[in-house]
Amino acid sequence: MQLGRQERSILVNGAAKATHSTTLAELLIELGYGEREVATALNGAFVPRAARAAARLAAHDVVEIVTPRQGG
């Protein structure tokens, strides 16, 4: 456990996830997305890339992460 950071339970793409991340940007790094092009939503509201570092996570938040797909 990281000092000063509480573990919280959230939903990511419908699956329960325990995390110490405090922002959406930190969560993306934790989940291995890093700087990849993805679309994100927090509790049903779209969060643009520039706002992810300020988007604070709380227990029971619902996060959606969508990656682009190629094909037709």
pTM of full prediction above 0.75? yes
Tally of domains within the chain: 1
- For 55, how many CA atoms within 13 A lie in the half-sphere containing its CB? 21
Using alpha carbons, select from 40, 37, 43 the residue that is nearest to residue 61.
43
Domain that holds residue 50: 17-66
Mean pLDDT of the chain: 92
**Could you tell me the CATH number of the domain that includes residue 43?**
3.10.20.30
Examine residue 24 and state whether it is found in any structural domain, yes or no.
yes
**High-pLDDT (> 90) share of the chain, %:** 81
Averaged pLDDT for residues 48-69? 96
Examine residue 10 and state whether it is found in any structural domain, yes or no.
no
User: Each residue of 20-52: pLDDT tens digit?
Assistant: 999 999 999 999 998 889 999 999 999 999 999
Averaged pLDDT for residues 50-61? 97
Examine residue 4 and state whether it is found in any structural domain, yes or no.
no
